[in-house]
Amino acid sequence: MFFYSNKNKRIFSSFCLVFLFITIILNNGCKNDTSDIQIQLRVRASFRSGGTDTIQAKVFVEGTDGNAVSAAVVTVRDSLNTVTQLEYNLSAHSYNGTLEEPQGNTNYIVEVSTVLSGNIIMLTVPFSKLANAPIVTVFQDASGNSVLHGQSLISAQPIQIGWADSGEGAVYHVSLRTMLRTVYAVSTEARTVTLPPNTVPSGSYLLEISAQKTHGDIYFRTAPYSSTSFLTAPMVSCNVN
């Protein structure tokens, strides 16, 4: 029969402690639970309408290495709790989809789910639909010759252009051009512009007015989202003498 001495007991106890310590280290080092992975992702959203009562939605999901994350689940929820899942577009490196454009102001909720993040990433994107297209209501020179009445304008006189209101916060872009070049262009929040005398040489031109209302930042510098409602009025042709 074998008996442990006090010395052997101490050696055996020390061995057990060392074995237990090594086992704990190995278990922790070999643990590979993906639920513990936490990577800071960058989510950006671009919503743009084009006057067809629909919104083209793009959501970019970027990892810490700057590359696009292509295996996430990306959805957009509107104010009526309608959920649309966006599909990943390989060439655009974004999740794309088409949404119905609502009336007035609304907030869309973008939700991104991926194994790279333990939580669902959420982004709120405000959107405002323009009320009306900026239809031309005034297009005349200082003598009262009106393009809307089929009359030619006089180049040597100031030319006034006015249009319908597209809604609060709209920005308008006005351009007067030939088929080859633009002779006048301006962006304004007002609903009328006056061209100084001799701004437009004699010839035939097309007047185009578009309106847009934007939330966020199209360059994603000051906000991680951009939403734009866009409308263009029918072009008006004119002659200038």
Q: Looking at the structure, do residues 116 and 172 belong to the same domain, yes or no? A: no
Instruction: State how many domains the chain has.
Output: 2
Q: Which one of 66, 101, 127 terminates a domain? A: 127
pLDDT for position 39: 57
SS3 letters across the chain: CCCCCHHHHHHHHHHHHHHHHHHHHHHHHHCCCHHHCCCCCEEEEEEEECCCCEEEEEEEEECCCCCECCCCEEEEECCCCCEEEEEEECCCCEEEEEEECCCCEEEEEEEEECCCCCCCEEEEEEEECCCCCCCEEEEEECCCCEHHHCCCECCCCCEEEEECCCCCCCEEEEEEECCCCEEEEEEECCCEEEECCCCCCCEEEEEEEEEEEEEECCCCCCCCEEEEEEEECCCEEEEEC
The CA-to-CA distance between both ends of the chain, in Å, stands at: 125
Q: Looking at the structure, do residues 52 and 117 belong to the same domain, yes or no? A: yes
Inter-residue contact 172 to 166 (CB < 8 Å)? yes
Q: Looking at the structure, do residues 77 and 160 belong to the same domain, yes or no? A: no
92 located within any domain: yes
229 located within any domain: yes
Q: Looking at the structure, do residues 78 and 154 belong to the same domain, yes or no? A: no
Q: Which one of 92, 127, 162 terminates a domain? A: 127
Q: Looking at the structure, do residues 63 and 100 belong to the same domain, yes or no? A: yes
Q: Which one of 67, 100, 127 terminates a domain? A: 127
pLDDT for position 15: 52
What is the span of the domain harbouring residue 59?
39-127
Q: Looking at the structure, do residues 235 and 140 belong to the same domain, yes or no? A: yes
49 located within any domain: yes
Tell me, what CATH number does 56's domain have? Answer: 2.60.40.10
CA distances from 102 to 85, 96, 126 (A): 18, 18, 11
Q: Looking at the structure, do residues 157 and 61 belong to the same domain, yes or no? A: no
pLDDT for position 53: 86
177 located within any domain: yes
At which residue do the structure tokens 């323009």 appear?
130
Nearest Cα residue to 227 out of 132, 125, 131, 111: 125
pLDDT for position 116: 87
14 located within any domain: no
pLDDT for position 231: 93
pLDDT for position 10: 54
9 located within any domain: no
pLDDT for position 150: 96
pLDDT for position 102: 86
Q: Looking at the structure, do residues 110 and 157 belong to the same domain, yes or no? A: no
29 located within any domain: no
Low-confidence ranges of the chain (pLDDT < 70): 1-39
Amino acid at 109: I
Q: Looking at the structure, do residues 145 and 88 belong to the same domain, yes or no? A: no
Tell me, what CATH number does 216's domain have? Answer: 2.60.40
165 located within any domain: yes
Q: Looking at the structure, do residues 69 and 99 belong to the same domain, yes or no? A: yes
Q: Looking at the structure, do residues 49 and 111 belong to the same domain, yes or no? A: yes
